[in-house]
Amino acid sequence: MHLLSLVALLVFARGAWGKYRAWRAGCGSPVERMDHPGKRLAFMFVNAVGQVCLLKKPLPGILHFLLFWGFVCFGLGTFSVMLKEEFGLPTFQGSYYLWLSLFLDVFAVLALTAVFMALVMLPEHDSADIPFREQRRPVLLLVGAILVTGLLLEGLRMAVDPDPWRAWSPAGWLVSSSLVGMERNVLRNAHQGMWWFHLLLSFGLIALVPYTCLFHLLAAPASQFFGNPEAAKALPPIDFKDETIVSFGVGKISDFNWKHLLELDACTNCGRCHDQCPAVAAGKPLSPEKLNRDLKRYMQQTTHLSMAREKTGAGPGEVSSGPEYEGPRLVGEVVPDATLWACTTCGACEVSCPVVVEHVPRIIDMRRHLVMMEARIPPEARQLFCNLENQQNPWGMSRAVRPDWAKGLDVPLAEEDPDAEFLFWPGCAAAYDPRNQKVARALVEIMRQGAKSFAILGKGEKCCGDPARRLGNEDLFQTLARQNIETLHRCNVKKIITSCPHCFNTLKNEYPRFGGQFQLIHHSELIRDLIDSGSIRVSKTAAAEKITYHDSCYLGRYNRIFEAPRAVLGAVAAEALLEMPRHGRKSFCCGGGGGLMWMDDHTGAGPNLLRAREAVECGADLVATACPYCLNMLVDGFKHESEDGRIRTADIAEIVAEGLIRHR
C-alpha cells in the first residue's frame, strides 16, 4: 500500500509540476496578487468552500456542492484511517466514529446521485465540444466507481463482522443485509479483494488529478485567491518608456501573465460565461468558454513541445516564440481576429464565472497585439482611431463645435469660473450626437433648478479614450488620457459629473494610474440626491406609461450603480418599475461597449435587437437608460422590434426634466 501511494504521489507531483511550469512561462505584465490577503482568503473560502457562486445556478450548483463535500468527507475518513493504522490514534471509537460513519454514508449516497445526474447532464449546453465533454465522462465514472466500491467494502465488512453500531452506517447496513446467507470465507475473500480494488481506484484518481479536469480542485481556489473580480474596469497599462519591451499586447502564450495561464486550468467549462455572453446570444464568433478551451489546448501543446526541446538539449524557453516552431499562431489562428472583435467588454462573463477567469483583460491584450504590432484593424476601427487622433472625438467632427450643444444655455467655462463646485463632462456623445445633446441640455436644466454650481471645459475637453483603449490602441488612449488630466489639473477640477458610464469608468478607474485623481459622480446619483434633498421637485410625468430600466454594463456591473437610476424613476413613475428578465448584475448588454458602438454589425442579430425584444415582451411603454451608448443602440433596436413606435426610449435626465416643477 505504501509503495502504491508513493507511486501515485510521484505521478501526481510530475503532472502538477508540469502545470506549474506552464504557468511560470507567463511573463506578461506584472500584476499585484497578494494585496489584501484577508479579503482574498475570505473570498476564496466563501466560493471554494461555501460554493456560493456555483449555487447561483441551482441544479448544477447543488450537484457540484454534493460532489465537493463528498470529497471533503471522504478525505476526512481516509485521514482518520491513516491516523488509526499508522499512529494508533483512537479515531474509530466513540462519538467521533459514529458521526463520521453517518456523514460518510450520507454523502456517499448523495455524491453518487450527483455523479449519475452529472453524467446525464453532460450535454447541457451546446458550447462544449464533444471531445472535451467526453473527457469528463471517464472521470465521473471513476469517481462513481470509488463511491460504489466504498459502499460495497463497508457492507462486506459489516457482513463479515456484524457491527452493533450499524445503524450509524445506513448505506453499508443496507448492503450487508443483501449479503445475508453467504459463507463467511467467501465474504472475507470478497472483502479483501474489494479492499485492494478500491485502493487501486483511489490511488489512480489521485495520480490522474493533474491530467484531468479534476485539477480544478487545486487550480480553482488558487484562481479565486489570486483573482481580481473587477479586473475588467481598470486595465493594466503598458509602459511605453520601458525600452526592454519588444512586443506590445499578447501575441504568444508566454505574453500572458501567470494568473491568466492559471485560469485556463481553473476553468471547468461550466458554461456560465457562454450562457451570459451577448456575443453568443447574437450569433457572433465568440464564446468565452470556447476561447478558454482553445487557449488551454494551445498552452498544453507549447508546454509539451518545450519539454521535448529541453530533452533534446535545445534548452529551455517558450516554444511558440522560437523560429523552429511551426504550429499555429496564437492571434489570428488559434484565436481568430473575428473572435476578438466580437467582444463588447460587458463583463457578464466575469460576473458569472465562479473561478474568477479574467476574460476581458485577456481579450484586450490580444487586441493590443493586433492593433499595435500587426496593424490588423477593421476599417471602422481604423477610421475611429484617425478621428480620435485628428479631432479627439469618435465622429471626427471639428473640436471647435464641441461646446455648441450648450449654445443659449450660458454654461460657463471652467477657466472662466474656477470656483464652480462641479465640472460637467458631457462626453463626446452628448457633445456631437444630436440625440444625446438633448440629454445634456436636460441635465443642465436639472442642475440649475437644483442650484448646483458647474462649468464645462468646452473646446478643452477631449475624448476620454475609452473606445481606443477597449479596441486595443493603448498608445492613443494614454495620449488622450494624459492630455485630459493635464487640462483638468490646470483648471483645478476636483469633482466631475458625467452622464456617460464609459467616461465615468475611465475617469474614475483608469485615470488614477496616470496621475488623475478625481471624484466622479454619475448623473443618476446627482439627480437622486437632488430629489431626496428637496432641491428639485418633480411630478409624476410618467404616470400613464409603464417604465422599464435598462442597466448599462459600465454603470451597473462595472461600478455597481443599480439603485440610483431606479430611485430617480420611482419619483416620476406612478407604478412600480417593470424589470426585464435580465437586469441588475445580470443585465444584457446593448452591444455598444468595447468600441463596438462604431463598428458595423456584420454577423448575427445584434445584442441591441435582442434587448429591445426583451423590453417589448415585458410590456413597457418607456425604456429608460442612463448611458448614451445604450440610448442610441436601443433606439436602433426598436426600429426593428417595435415597428408601431409604441415604445419610446429616453434618458433618465430627460424624463425628470419633463416633470420638473419650476421655481417661479
Alpha carbon distance 342, 333 (integer Å): 15
Least-confidence region, from 57-66, 213-222, 559-568 = 57-66
Alpha carbon distance 263, 312 (integer Å): 30
Q: For residue 119, what pLDDT is reported?
A: 86
Alpha carbon distance 300, 430 (integer Å): 48
Q: Which CATH number fits domain 231-372: 1.10.20, 1.10.1060, 1.10.1660, 1.10.3470?
A: 1.10.1060
Q: What is the mean pLDDT of the segment spanning 361-366?
A: 96
Q: For residue 79, what pLDDT is reported?
A: 86
At what angle are helices 2-24 and 288-311 packed, to 10 degrees? Answer: 110
Q: For residue 321, what pLDDT is reported?
A: 43
Q: For residue 314, what pLDDT is reported?
A: 53
SS3 content of the chain, % helix, strand, coil (to 5): 60, 5, 35
What's the DSSP call for residue 510? I
Alpha carbons within 13 A on the beta-carbon side of 18? 22
More reliable by pLDDT, 473 or 661: 473
Of 524, 530, 506, nearest to 516 (Cα)? 506
CB atoms within 10 A of CB 94: 9
Q: For residue 126, what pLDDT is reported?
A: 44
Grid coordinates of 551: 442597466
More reliable by pLDDT, 32 or 556: 556
Q: For residue 316, what pLDDT is reported?
A: 46
Q: For residue 520, what pLDDT is reported?
A: 97
pLDDT of 102-134, one tens digit each?
Answer: 988 999 999 999 999 888 876 554 444 555 566
CATH number for the region 391-532 comes to 3.40.50
Tell me if domain 231-372 and domain 391-532 are identical in fold. Answer: no
* Averaged pLDDT of the chain: 89
Q: For residue 602, what pLDDT is reported?
A: 60
List strands edge to edge, sheet with 454-455. 454-455, 422-425, 495-498, 519-522
Alpha carbons within 13 A on the beta-carbon side of 570? 11
Strands 547-549, 622-625: parallel, antiparallel or unpaired by DSSP? parallel
Any idea where the domains of the chain sit in the sequence?
2-6+57-211, 231-372, 391-532, 540-658
CB atoms within 10 A of CB 279: 27
Q: Is 369 helix (H, G, I), strand (E, B) or coil?
A: helix
pLDDT band of 322, cuts 50, 70, 90:
very low
More reliable by pLDDT, 126 or 92: 92
Long-range contacts of 96-99 (CB under 8 A, 24+ apart): 97/165, 98/165, 98/168, 99/168
Q: φ and ψ at 90, to 5 degrees?
A: -80, 60
Radius of gyration of the chain (CA): 30
pLDDT band of 436, cuts 50, 70, 90:
very high
Of 591, 523, 590, 510, nearest to 551 (Cα)? 590
pLDDT band of 644, cuts 50, 70, 90:
low
Q: What is the mean pLDDT of the segment spanning 390-415?
A: 94
pLDDT band of 384, cuts 50, 70, 90:
very high
Q: Which residues of 163-179 are buried (b: 16+ CB within 10 A; e: fewer)?
A: beebebbebbbebbeeb
pLDDT band of 23, cuts 50, 70, 90:
very high
Single-letter amino acid, residue 597? M
Q: What is the mean pLDDT of the segment spanning 240-253?
A: 91
Share of the chain above pLDDT 70, in %: 93
In order, the DSSP letters of 131-156 are: HHHHHHHHHHHHHHHHHHHHHHHHHH
Q: For residue 164, what pLDDT is reported?
A: 84
User: Residue 173: is its pLDDT beyond 70?
Assistant: yes
Alpha carbon distance 186, 171 (integer Å): 21
Q: For residue 320, what pLDDT is reported?
A: 42
Q: What angle do CA 24, 26, 27 make, to 5 degrees?
A: 110
What's the DSSP call for residue 255? G
Q: Which helix (H) or strand (E) holds 283?
A: none
Q: For residue 663, what pLDDT is reported?
A: 64
Q: Which CATH number fits domain 540-658: 2.40.128, 2.10.110, 3.30.300, 3.40.50?
A: 3.40.50
Alpha carbon distance 483, 462 (integer Å): 8
Alpha carbon distance 480, 462 (integer Å): 7
Q: For residue 122, what pLDDT is reported?
A: 67
Least-confidence region, from 114-123, 281-290, 404-413, 491-500 = 114-123
Alpha carbon distance 377, 308 (integer Å): 36
**Is 222 in contact with 343 (CB distance < 8 Å)?**
no
Q: Is 420 helix (H, G, I), strand (E, B) or coil?
A: coil
Alpha carbons within 13 A on the beta-carbon side of 554? 33
Q: What is the mean pLDDT of the segment spanning 555-568?
A: 97
More reliable by pLDDT, 572 or 645: 572
Q: For residue 125, what pLDDT is reported?
A: 47
Q: Which helix (H) or strand (E) holds 649?
A: strand 648-651
Q: Is the Cα dihedral 365, 366, 369, 372 positive or negative?
A: negative
Ranked by mean pLDDT, the top range of 62-76, 117-131, 186-200 is 186-200
At what angle are helices 359-372 and 474-490 packed, to 10 degrees? Answer: 100
- Give Cα 195 to chain centroid, integer Å: 44
User: Residue 55: is its pLDDT beyond 70?
Assistant: yes
User: Residue 323: is its pLDDT beyond 80?
Assistant: no
Q: Is 521 helix (H, G, I), strand (E, B) or coil?
A: strand
User: Residue 337: is its pLDDT beyond 90?
Assistant: yes
Q: Which helix (H) or strand (E) holds 648?
A: strand 648-651
User: Residue 25: is its pLDDT beyond 90?
Assistant: no
pLDDT of 447-498, one tens digit each?
Answer: 999 989 999 999 999 999 999 999 999 999 999 999 999 999 999 999 999 9
